[in-house]
Amino acid sequence: MQTLLSKHWHRLPGSEVVELLDTHVDSGLGGFEANGRLQHFGPNALTARKGKGPWLRLALQFHQPLIYILIVAGAITAGLQEWVDSSVIFGVVLVNAFVGFIQESRALKALEALARTMTAECTVIRDGEPRRISSREVVPGDVVMLQSGDKVPADLRLFHERDLQIDESALTGESVPVQKLSETLAQDAVLADRRNMAYASSLVTYGQGKGVVVATGDKTEVGRISQLIAQAEDIKTPLTRKIAAFSHVLLYIILAVAGGVFAIGLFKGESMLDMFMAAVALAVAAIPEGLPAAVTIILAIGVARMAKRRAIIRKLPAVETLGSTTIICTDKTGTLTENQMTVREIYDGFTRYETSGVGYAPAGHILKDGAPLDGSPVPAVAECLRCGVLCNDSLLLEKDGQWVIQGDPTEGALIVSAHKLGIVQEAEDERWPRIESIPFESAHQYMATLHDRGSERSRTVFVKGAVEVILERCTDGLDPQSHARELDREHALHVAEELAGKGLRVLAFARKELPAGVSELNHTDVASGLTFLGLQGMIDPPRPEAIEAVRECRHSGIRVKMITGDHALTAASIAKEMRIDNGSDQAGTHLRVLTGKDLERMDEAAIIDAAQQTKVFARVSPEQKLRLVRALQARNEVVAMTGDGVNDAPALKQANIGVAMGMTGTEVAKEAADMVLTDDNFATIVAAVEEGRGVFDNLTKFIVWTLPTNAGEGLVVVTAIMTGAMLPLLPVHILWINMTTAVLLGMMLAFEPKEADIMSRPPRDPKTPLLSRDLVMRIGLVALLLLGGAFGLFKWERWQGADVNVARTVAVNTFVMIELFYLFNCRSLTKSMFTIGVFSNRWVHIGALAMVGLQMVFTYIPFMNRALQTAPISMGAWVRIVGVALAVYFIVGLEKAIRHRTAAPTTAIRRRSEEIMDA
């Protein structure tokens, strides 16, 4: 029995499946046999997989090179009995670990949410009788009875169906319920085309059916997705990768330089204790104590900003990752589209019309040549729309301010399209009361309803269904004034083919008059003699704001790819409408679409090439979505994946950043994602990318601002040792500078507004280092200026006969003032603060004033003089300090201006080429 569960059940006849599973279509399994199989196969539930325990996850928060450096710094300062500094450093370590622990995604949540989707009751046949049991008790071989509203409890091979339609959108991406059948299918049929199967967690929307259980629990399709989620790798974000690499390099440099200084000092005959203290001072100087906390705080501020723009971040580094995104792989149904079927085109047998408005909201117009028909008498098109409303079992309702369809989405689209010409369902039902109906059956491919319009001579039958089926039953059509005329069957078929070629789902409509006394309706009544009323073509339309969002992505250098489970023709139509093809396809050319079958025939190398070159993928399975994301990552792309269905969850988890829809998204997708859009709006992603770029900008500004301080402090210590001079800065002074300036000055850059051109820049190349060559040179320049200013003023004070504590106080204040003025340089890495706005970030000015006040306390309060070995300084010293700081500000400003002027022509050429591409 166990080996049977791996068969391709859709390719086997239903009778053979029943025989293989040793069951019976009428009596099902016996109670004893069912209990035995439950013991053998286990409950019909997904196996919970054990994740890391809370203590291990907390411990792993300390497993980072920068944290190692901070712990060592804290231990050293504690050894020096600098208890305040040691407490601050360890406080930073603990806060950083606590924030990381709270923000970390727990992998088991996705699996638990997936398991909850399978919890329900179902009807099975046991010992020849229908029974309601928990879905957990279902076993292979059980015969399950399905009806409208049921959640499918396990994977079933259907052997009987009557008008059975199942919503599999969360599993396959199919935008409309799938009409099921029981016939045998080809072995190579992809998941979304296996119409003789019903899959666990999908929802029955219409009709009835019976099927035999072929897989339960982890063996179901949804169980296989659960395993894919568990196997998907946790991808490090660009920021975490770069910070980790930077931290390793910094760690080695600190150890090497401190060890070298210690050895050189001993070689020159200095005492071991003095050299040890010098090495400690150097190590403390080189450690950017504020960096881990700054990264966390800047990311947290980004989270708050994005929440205001309807994007909820579940994993903290995801904020920055969005700014690095090079490719967005998006699902179609419910992400790019409304997930609400909408009639786009109408043909009344004579004239073609279009509609305005999208979704289920009954707003919009019927258009002829772009002009609304409001008030214009058009009997023929009105008859077509009326037929769609009356031959209809669904309802259009308003709930909590939202328009929703109770019933089939396709029928809902017909109700809305009629409303746009003033044909309202409630009024029509009252004028044309229904007498009898023939429900839609897959064998006949149509639905018919009989209505009494109050005439003593006749009653009217309205029919809707497949185009070929309806046309072959029609004998005539209508002219624009609703008078009978000869039917041009070939032209109607040609129009239907054109509409289908646009990715539209096309239905035909007809009517027939029957004698007034008829109260029953049979298939023979509509077998011939129908009057053709027209066609309606519908589609799940793209969101208007999503079209603009795709354009914004293209302008920002981000490529958009559609990966969907829907049909290739529909996917291509939506892609062209949204210009995912970049508008590069000329009239008459065909947008390349790869399907799941195409991908099955490719090896890994071919898939990697296809993932890069192809923009639209259709009829793909969850495994193939996962393979495509991995293929893009193999080319060092930073991939954001959007989606809302269960089938999207593995790829969401694998992507560098997974983006789930908050309103229509499944719990499984939300738990697997890094970010959830509360408005289900693809356009929100553009806002999130903008915020992400702003976050990385501000992080870079902080790093460019803070590293010269550490490098300058190190240079001061090394220069003092090499020249045999007294140390201008003690370890306690270095810690004071690093911690106070990081909080009061550096952190203020976290509040820096986004620069105006931030979305005109291309995405950062994932292979580029954290800092560009130009920024590294600027850091070196400022470090040398800090060395010259602090060391020079220290020596000047000593030459003037000042006490060593006075000279060291001057050196400390020189460092702080240079950092303060340099902070205003760092508000933009390329522009002057006068360009971006002097007062656009008030927190910078507040921090600067607070820092000046704190330095007054540091310099003039006796308690601080005793604790930190400082002394009051003269007004002349302050003039020299501020003069040096101002000089540094103007030198850096000049350097930025020179670089900006050099880079301007290249930028202008790139922008012009982008404008040409967009045009």
Position of tokens 């009326």? 386
Active site residue 331: yes
The helix or strand, by DSSP H or E, that contains position 16, with its residue range, turns out to be helix 14-20
- Contact assessment for residue 313 and residue 674, using Cβ atoms and an 8 Å cutoff: yes
The amino acid at residue 297 is I
Q: Please give the Cα distance from 657 to 660 (Å, whole number).
A: 10
Number of Cβ atoms within 10 Å of the Cβ of 379: 15
Q: Please give the Cα distance from 486 to 475 (Å, whole number).
A: 8
- CA 125 to chain CA centroid, Å, is 43
832 secondary structure, DSSP code: -
Residues present in the chain in total = 919
* Token couple for 822: 């340099």
Query: For residue 623, what are the CA distances in angstroms to 228, 291, 644?
Result: 7, 39, 16
Query: For residue 794, what are the CA distances in angstroms to 717, 726, 850?
Result: 12, 10, 25
Measure the CA dihedral 840/846/849/854, to 10°.
Answer: -150
473 secondary structure, DSSP code: T
Q: Please give the Cα distance from 136 to 423 (Å, whole number).
A: 47
Query: For residue 311, what are the CA distances in angstroms to 185, 314, 322?
Result: 43, 10, 11
The helix or strand, by DSSP H or E, that contains position 403, with its residue range, turns out to be strand 402-406
- Specify which residues 677 forms β-bridges with: 311, 661
Q: Please give the Cα distance from 280 to 86 (Å, whole number).
A: 14
* Token couple for 264: 């050189």
- Contact assessment for residue 649 and residue 223, using Cβ atoms and an 8 Å cutoff: no
Q: Please give the Cα distance from 270 to 155 (Å, whole number).
A: 80
* Annotated catalytic residue within 155, 167, 331, 540: 331
Q: Please give the Cα distance from 800 to 797 (Å, whole number).
A: 5
Angle at 293 between CA 292 and CA 294, to 5 degrees: 90
Q: Residue 444's closest CA among 162, 168, 210, 160? A: 162
Q: Please give the Cα distance from 833 to 701 (Å, whole number).
A: 13
- Contact assessment for residue 852 and residue 878, using Cβ atoms and an 8 Å cutoff: no
Q: Please give the Cα distance from 540 to 505 (Å, whole number).
A: 9
Catalytic residue ranges: 331
